[in-house]
Amino acid sequence: GTLALISPKATPTQGDLVNQKPVGSGPFVVTEYAQKDHITIARNPRYTRRAPWSDHQGPPYLDRIVFKIIPEAGTRVTTIESGETQMISALNAPAAVLRRLESNTSLRVERNPYPGAPRIWLLNVTVPPTNDLKVRQALNYGVNRPAFVESVYKGLGQTACAPLTQHMLADPSLCQAYPYDPSKAAQLLDEAGWKMGPNNLRTKDGRPLVITINSINYGAGNLPEIELLQGQLLQLGIDARIKSQARPPWYEDNYHCATSGPVMFLRDTDWNGLYALFDSATVHTNFNWSCYANPEVDRLIAQGREEFDPAKRRAIYLKIERILVDQAVTVPLIDEYSVWVLRGNVKGTTYNYSAYPVLNDVSIEK
């Protein structure tokens, strides 16, 4: 995201109100904040800059913008179709609904790839059974990534290959590492000592092969990819259990390396996002929830942060990615798109480097 200037005079006196009515320097001013309902921003008449991405100097074209907080995708879609709203996020919109919206001539759909890490399953390398490389490799061969795109994320993303999205750092070797191959997954689990039992569950020394997925629940249940993942693991003979919990305990389990790992994403516009995810300094904090520590990766991350030459820097981070893929530290699932649906009379939308909409130049035709 963007770090905006805030008022050194007003901010220290605001206390908690700084999160509801920040005093900043941007093109809009926050005029109203109604928790869990809406946020209203108004045109800042004193704004005189021309932002690098803007088509004009001075204040925005729109007098006022209201962000309505509508968590449920179906309700959001209804508002754009009826004209109650002029722009919505297509987050969690079913594929069939998105196709319907794209066929509506009064609407248009805009897509941009998110930077950073994909929707990814971080595998805890410190606790059984995911501390076993063969088990982690089996999970990578046994998870059907294209099925996620075809069902849950159709029109909202593409198959992921590595800990950074293909938009960030594309290389054919990363996508060729783990083709979907359930037979290979079964072979690796057999080699690791997890044999298929009569009840279609694998066991070793009398113990079932149990994997616990840490699932964040915002109040509407598990995200759809979690249950799809669980179903695919069950087909491999794995007793996949979902630990569904609210944000605070979900974070605590991640900090304490208490499960087989969470499914998450990380927005970052630089390859150095790998530091937060895999440097040993970020275990027990944000966001090394694979609990992974590798001195060679630490060294390369430090080298990448100090290198200025773009080609050399790319080579360093590609080497890190290859190590992480070889060691099967994660199961990358989906490279997500930032998808927005707009009424046809909304003009001038642009998107920043984080794929979020920039509204300085937006206007509405009458």
Mean pLDDT, the chain, whole residue set? 95
Confidence of residue 3 (pLDDT cuts 50, 70, 90): low
- In this structure, of 71-85, 90-104, 223-237, 283-297, the range with the lowest mean pLDDT score is 90-104
Q: Does the pLDDT value for residue 80 go beyond 60?
A: yes
Tokens of 126: 């410190």
HSE-CB at 311 with a 13 A cutoff on CA atoms is 0
pLDDT digits 0-9 by tens, 141-157: 999 999 999 988 988 99
Considering the domain architecture, whether residues 75 and 146 belong to the same structural domain is answered as no
Range of the domain at 44: 27-113+338-364
pLDDT at 171: 96
Q: What is the CATH number of the domain that holds 76?
A: 3.40.190.10
Separation of alpha carbons 286 and 274, rounded Å: 11
Considering the domain architecture, whether residues 181 and 249 belong to the same structural domain is answered as yes
pLDDT digits 0-9 by tens, 171-217: 999 999 999 999 999 999 999 999 999 899 999 999 999 999 999 99
Considering the domain architecture, whether residues 205 and 240 belong to the same structural domain is answered as yes
Per-residue burial over 225-237, b = 16 or more CB atoms within 10 Å of its CB, e = otherwise: bbbbbbebbeebb
How many C-beta atoms lie closer than 10 Å to residue 137's C-beta?
21
Considering the domain architecture, whether residues 188 and 94 belong to the same structural domain is answered as no
Helix axes 73-82, 95-103, angle to 10 degrees: 10
pLDDT at 311: 98
Q: Does the pLDDT value for residue 96 go beyond 90?
A: no
The model scores a pTM over 0.85: yes
Considering the domain architecture, whether residues 186 and 313 belong to the same structural domain is answered as yes
Q: Identify the residue whose tokens are 């060679």.
A: 296
Domain membership flag for residue 221: yes
Tokens of 244: 């569904």
Considering the domain architecture, whether residues 277 and 347 belong to the same structural domain is answered as no
Residue type, 132: D
Length of the chain: 366
Positive or negative, the CA dihedral 290, 291, 296, 299 is positive
| SS3 category, 356 | coil
| E strands present in the chain | 28-34, 38-43, 64-68, 87-89, 107-113, 117-122, 157-159, 195-196, 202-204, 207-208, 210-216, 239-245, 263-266, 330-343, 346-347, 350-351, 357-358, 363-364
Considering the domain architecture, whether residues 255 and 127 belong to the same structural domain is answered as yes
Q: Does the pLDDT value for residue 268 go beyond 90?
A: yes
Q: Does the pLDDT value for residue 230 go beyond 50?
A: yes
Domain membership flag for residue 7: no
Mean predicted confidence (pLDDT) in 75-104: 93
What is the four-CA torsion angle of 303, 308, 313, 314, rounded to 10 degrees? Answer: 160
Considering the domain architecture, whether residues 200 and 315 belong to the same structural domain is answered as yes
Residue 36's φ and ψ, nearest 5 degrees, are: 65, 15
Considering the domain architecture, whether residues 179 and 299 belong to the same structural domain is answered as yes
Q: Identify the residue whose tokens are 């900090």.
A: 255
Residue 57's φ and ψ, nearest 5 degrees, are: -100, 145
pLDDT at 7: 82
Tokens of 318: 């590609």
DSSP at 115: P
Q: Which residue has the higher pLDDT, 92 or 361?
A: 361
Ordered alpha helix ranges (H), 35-132: 73-82, 95-103
Tokens of 196: 């298929």
Domain membership flag for residue 2: no
Mean predicted confidence (pLDDT) in 233-259: 98
Considering the domain architecture, whether residues 251 and 348 belong to the same structural domain is answered as no
Considering its fold, how many domains does the chain have in total?
A: 2
Domain membership flag for residue 298: yes
Separation of alpha carbons 277 and 285, rounded Å: 10
Considering the domain architecture, whether residues 274 and 199 belong to the same structural domain is answered as yes
Considering the domain architecture, whether residues 172 and 69 belong to the same structural domain is answered as no
CA 52 to chain centre: 27
Q: What percent of the chain has pLDDT over 70?
A: 99
Domain membership flag for residue 9: no
Domain membership flag for residue 107: yes
Confidence of residue 86 (pLDDT cuts 50, 70, 90): very high
pLDDT at 95: 83
pLDDT at 17: 81
Domain membership flag for residue 31: yes
Q: What is the CATH number of the domain that holds 228?
A: 3.10.105.10
Positive or negative, the CA dihedral 241, 245, 247, 248 is negative
Asked if 340 and 323 touch (Cβ cutoff 8 Å), the reply is no
pLDDT at 1: 47
Domain membership flag for residue 16: no
The Cα-based distances of 293 to 100, 118, 260, 277 in angstroms read 46, 21, 16, 11
Of the ranges 46-60, 89-103, 122-136, 345-359, which is most confident? 122-136
DSSP at 16: G
